[in-house]
Amino acid sequence: MASETETSAGIEDGVRRRDFINIAAVSFAGVGSVAVVLPLVNQMNPSADVLALSSTEIDISAIQPGQSIKTSWRKQPVFVRNLVPAEIAEANKVPLSELRDPETLAERTKVGKENWLITLGVCTHLGCVPLGAAEGEPRGDFGGYFCPCHGSHYDTAARIRKGPAPKNLVVPPYDFTSDTVVTIG
């Protein structure tokens, strides 16, 4: 009986009850599959313990003018440099039009703390650690940092001046918690 009505209905509009069941079942299975794939993809994102490392405190009281230290934030190297007045002057006299990624030193530091240059030690070309943070390392043609992998030169404000890197060394989000402590992240 049911099949007879089904067939006659099918002749009229070309749609069978079975088509509805078919589409409903396959759609439901599709939604279910997506719901399962989401956690399977999301599990590859940084886990809670990795994200918990996203804030780091640094004591900068021991860094003398002209010195810099290497520390780490999110397992990436961070350069903290105490600029001398000559380096600040050199950075400020460069016209922005000459820069590949135009930014002033003031934009890359905090107000009143222009001598503290804090950047990631990750070359914006392909991620090597540039030289120049440690004592005696080559600092490139512009007196900042020099990446030995593919020859990118950064100036005293860690801005890209020569070589294949497209951007200045990244300034991470940070704040001075006090005059001697910086919180990165």
Residues that are catalytic: 150
Single out the segment in contact with other proteins by CB under 8 A; choices: 5-13, 41-49, 53-61, 124-132.
Answer: 41-49
Of the two residues 32 and 166, which places its CB atom closer to other proteins in the complex? 32
- Scan for tokens 């002209």, then name that residue: 66
Give me 165's structure tokens: 């890197």
Q: Are 121 and 78 in contact (CB under 8 A)?
A: yes
> By CB under 8 A, is residue 4 in contact with other proteins?
no
The residues near 162 (Cβ < 8 Å, ≥ 6 apart) are 140, 141, 142, 151, 152, 153
> By CB under 8 A, is residue 39 in contact with other proteins?
yes
Least separation in angstroms between residue 6's CB and other proteins is 16
Q: In terms of Cα–Cα distance, which of 182, 160, 161 is closest to 173?
A: 182
Binders of other proteins: how many residues, by CB under 8 A? 14
Task: Provide the 3-class DSSP secondary structure of residue 108.
Answer: helix
> By CB under 8 A, is residue 9 in contact with other proteins?
no
Of the candidate residues 3, 8, 42, 64, the single one contacting other proteins (CB under 8 A) = 42
Binding region for other proteins (CB under 8 A): 25, 29, 32, 38-40, 42-45, 47-50
